[in-house]
A and B are shown apart, each in its own frame.
Chain A
Amino acid sequence: MLELRNVSKWFGGLPALQDVSFRIAPGQVTALIGPNGAGKSTLINCISGVDRVQAGSVLLARRPVEALPAFKIAALGVARTFQNLKLFSRLTVLDNVLTGLTVAAERSFAVSMMRLPALRHQERQLRLRALKALDDFGLAKKAHWPASSLSYGEKKRVEMARAFVSDPRLVLLDEPVAGLNTEETAQIARHIRRQRSAGHTMLLVEHDMELVMEVADQVVVLDSGRCIASGKPEAVRSNPLVLEAYLGRMEATA
């Protein structure tokens, strides 16, 4: 599905990512963990085309995509959420989720331009899909609210609905439970589990180790831009390098 080969990136002279390589198999959930500033969000940005890698390549279904603009990567089936929410705050919740179907609408754009009734039919179908996704994420009642009026937890769910609505091949989730209370975290975790059993491939950046250990098939650990370990969650958990760089520090502060 996704393969990273020696991905590197610098901000000014500082290395943000150094020779990061790993693979994600279809249907797998990969958790990307590491201390703050390890380069996790940068990596997600590079995969989704928001940021550019400076060396190495990002292969999506064996096709190099590292030079493509973000909207083309989205068209290839990569959706994402952001750590600090990027919703269309002036749009309604439903419209936000409808934008997530841009890719689905674009596919037959040329055809539907010629036949207006077909276009209208398609838009109606997309609207139903968006409403279904809102229902799945427990937001059906707020479909017509402006996104800016929602609580932080609800906004996180709108963003997830927007990412998942098009049935993308790969979903990048950047800290989906950061800043949420216990109840909201449990809610999001439930949604992640549900998407996982629906067979979605996900790359999950997360600090919540309980969630990571529960949903991940594979864990990749970044530290100072380098990939220091990867493998099954249990194996990574007991890796001494990881304990030192990440888990050790977590336990010390906890």
Chain B
Amino acid sequence: MSGFQDLLQFVFAGITSGAIYALIALGFCVVHNTIGIVNFAQVDFVSLGGMFLFSGLFWSGLPMVVALPCAVAAVTLVGIVVERLGVRPSRSQNHLVLIFLTIGISIILRGGMKLIWGKNRMAVPPLAGEEPLRIAGAAILPQAVAILVITTLAIGLLVFFFRGTRLGLCMRAVASNQTAAAVVGIPVGRVKAASFALAGGLGGLAGVLVTPITTLSYDVGVLLGLKGFAAAILGGFGSFPGAVLGGLLLGLLESLSAGYWSSAYKDVSAFVVLLLVLFVRPKGLLGK
């Protein structure tokens, strides 16, 4: 039975981190689909989510239920600012130029965080209690359950947003053909800003959910974000179902390889997968 319990434990841990990678990967996809670039500032949206949550809780003394949505909203705002002041004024629309621009913005954001919050590691309390739940013999943190529930809700909302709202339709239209979008009356610039806002929200959400597990620092998002990037590539860059699938697979792979092989290689597995996908099937699992 203990073998099964181990497996259950690993699977659950994998799905939990997979959910986080999925959120980050979705953030990458949203921007990629409307602007056609990889937004490397996505990784800092994750750190910022944790930072804003920390400040909301300990500087402003807000209760968790208020601080969490406020932190996500704040990162959403940062997303808009990054697009308005960082990406849009670019005189070149060359994708490579824009991608390098996002790398620069990412470094600026990290510098800003270092100035405001310092370089020390900080602890963020979990959403729910710290007493592990016992499910079929496996010990599961309440935070992990919170992550799964909230991520599922967020993905559900995202699907509704894209399928059932006009702004979602406009975003899909811009992703599909920008000239056509403009001539039917869609303000393409505003839709691009909205995509950055959404990416900020998704990254921020990943941040507020994961930092209670990982501890918080100004660069906590870098490794997580790059894994989210790998997840997006694994699923097929730009594909939303692919991002979720890629995130979950990557999380599972990481957790199982750490459990059955060696935890020393945990972080390596993500990038081995990244390389394998690029060698064998560059368009990813569900990519077009």
Contact = CB atoms under 8 A, between A and B. Distances in A.
Interface of A: 48-50, 69-71, 74-75, 79-80, 82, 86-91, 95, 98-100, 102-103, 105-106, 123, 162
Contact of B183 (A79, A89, A91, A105): A79
The 10 closest A-B pairs by CB, nearest first: A74-B185, A70-B182, A88-B176, A86-B180, A103-B185, A102-B185, A90-B176, A99-B173, A99-B184, A71-B187
Contact of B177 (A89, A102, A106, A123): A89
Contacts of B180: 82, 86-88, 99
Contacts of A95: 169, 172-173
Contact of A105 (B166, B172, B175): B166
A79 B183 CA distance: 7
A162 B185 CA distance: 12
Interface string B133-155: 00000000000000000000000
Contact of B172 (A71, A88, A123): A88
Nearest to A76: B185
Interface string B165-192: 0100110110111011111111110000
Report the interface size class on chain B. Answer: 10 to 19
Given A89-B177, A91-B176, A102 B170 contact: yes
B84 to A, nearest CB: 17
Contacts of A74: 182-185
Contacts of B184: 74, 79, 99-100, 102-103, 162
A111 to B, nearest CB: 14
25 contacts: A48-B183, A49-B183, A71-B183, A71-B187, A71-B188, A74-B183, A74-B185, A75-B185, A79-B183, A82-B179, A87-B180, A88-B176, A88-B177, A88-B181, A90-B176, A95-B169, A95-B172, A98-B169, A99-B180, A99-B184, A102-B184, A102-B185, A102-B186, A105-B166, A123-B166
A249 B183 CA distance: 34
Interface of B: 166, 169-170, 172-173, 175-177, 179-188
Given A71-B187, A102-B185, A89 B179 contact: no
Contacts of B177: 86-89
Contacts of A90: 172, 175-176
A96 to B, nearest CB: 8
A87 B178 CA distance: 10
B173 to A, nearest CB: 5
B170 A71 contact: no
A50 B186 contact: no
Nearest to B178: A86
